[in-house]
Chain A
Amino acid sequence: MTTIFERVEAALGTISPAVNYAAAPYKGTLPNAFITHQLINSPAEQHADGEETERSYTVQLSLWDKAGIPSTTSVDAAMKAAGFHKGDVRQLPQDPQTHHYGLAVEFVYIESQE
């Protein structure tokens, strides 16, 4: 069964031109532009006959770019194609050391047990 992390990385892997991405926190030297992903919560949403039938996964993608506020266009398209729904978007404080601009974007994936 595909995990939510594999699902996110598969989606980000389809972006062209390729982007740097990793599970948060990003290790090693920070590229000029990169994306981190993190599972925020994953509550069970529905039960039937004592069995879980639906669970939602909220994933935060943090887009970082030294050139300015990152664009979400290609990420939105890739995540939508992978079955995610876009949620809240929030600008993050600019990193005072690296000068990366940041944007946090939430995506929700609903997994149903058929």
Chain B
Amino acid sequence: MRGELTFKGLTEWMEQLAEAGENIDDAVTELLGETQPFIAEELVSQLQKTSEEYTGETASTIQVSGVQQEGNYLFVEATVGGSDAPQATYKEYGTTRQEAEPFVRPTFRGHRLKNKLKEGMKAIMQRFGL
């Protein structure tokens, strides 16, 4: 299971940096690197909100990569579960007898991660005097 986040404002932020002559790749790498620990924390936080008694079993399968680059595409990859831990999928999407207790979707679609990224973007802009 992988999470993906898109949000408004990122393009404009990068354009402002480019106009100011700053290195966009460095700025995005810094932004993602600073946000990376928060992604894992937020996934665990959302897991703890699910109704099931929290055991940490699913949380132990959470992995968030360092900043990676493929061409112009910079990203961090968050994964949970996998073939050895199907309970993460059961929890996120439910089964025939179990309702879903989503924790990945609230992490990547909620406001907390977006706000964290926006705070990071603002701090970088202020540091460059923009």
Which B residues touch A24, using CB under 8 A? 94, 99-100
Set B90, B97, B100: member contacting A40, Cβ < 8 A: B100
Contact partner of A102 among B96, B99, B102, B109, CB < 8 A?
Answer: B96
A95's closest neighbor in chain B, by CB? B96
Residue numbers in A under 8 Å from B102 (CB-CB): 40-41, 60
Q: Once the chains are docked, how many angstroms separate the CA of A38 from the CA of B100?
A: 8
Majority-rule SS of A interface residues: strand
Interface size on A, residues (CB 8 A): 21
Q: How far is the CA of A16 from the CA of B89 in the complex (A)?
A: 31
Query: In the complex, which residues 34-74 of chain A have their Cβ closer than 8 Å to any Cβ of chain B?
Result: 36, 38, 40-41, 43, 58, 60, 62, 64
Return the contact of A62 from the options B93, B105, B110 (Cβ within 8 A).
B93
Q: Report chain A residues within 8 Å CB of B115.
A: none
Q: Is A5's CB within 8 Å of the partner chain B?
A: no
A64 CA to B93 CA in the complex, in Å?
13
From A43, A60, A92, give the contact of B111 (CB < 8 A). A43
B4's closest neighbor in chain A, by CB?
A88
Residue A93 at the chain B interface, CB threshold 8 Å: yes
A to B CB contacts below 8 Å, 19 in the list: A24-B94, A24-B99, A25-B97, A25-B99, A26-B96, A36-B99, A41-B105, A41-B109, A58-B105, A58-B109, A60-B94, A90-B93, A92-B89, A92-B94, A92-B95, A93-B89, A93-B95, A95-B95, A98-B96
Q: Which B residues are closer than 8 A to A by beta carbons?
A: 86, 89-90, 93-100, 102, 105-106, 109-111
Which 4 residue pairs spanning A and B have beta carbons closest together?
A24-B99, A25-B99, A95-B96, A104-B93
